[in-house]
Amino acid sequence: MNSYLKKGVGFGLTSGVITTLSMLIGLSTISDSRAVVIGGILSIAIADAASDALGMHIAEESHEKTEEKHIWTATLSTFFSKFIFAMTFMVPVALFEIKTAVIISLIWGFLLLTVFSYKIALDRKENPVRAVVEHVVIATVVLTVIHLTGKLVKTFE
Beta carbons within 8 Å of 19's beta carbon, 6+ residues apart: 44, 48, 86
Q: Which domain holds residue 7?
A: 3-154
Contact yes or no for 79/53 (Cβ under 8 A): yes
One digit per residue, pLDDT tens: the chain, 157 residues?
688 888 889 999 999 999 999 999 999 998 889 999 999 999 999 999 999 999 999 998 998 788 889 899 999 999 999 999 999 999 999 999 999 999 999 999 999 999 999 999 999 999 999 999 999 999 999 999 999 999 999 899 8
For residue 52, the tally of other CB atoms under 10 A from its CB is: 23
pLDDT of residue 137: 97
Cβ burial of 1 (10 Å; 0-12, 13-18, 19+) is exposed
125 in the Ramachandran plot: left (φ > 0), alpha (ψ -120 to 50) or beta?
left
Instruction: Report the Cα 133 to chain-centroid distance in Å.
Output: 17
State the Cα–Cα distance between residues 93 and 45, nearest whole angstrom.
Answer: 14
pTM of this structure: 0.91
pLDDT of residue 118: 96
State the Cα–Cα distance between residues 10 and 13, nearest whole angstrom.
Answer: 5
- If one counts the domains in the chain, the total is 1
pLDDT of residue 13: 94
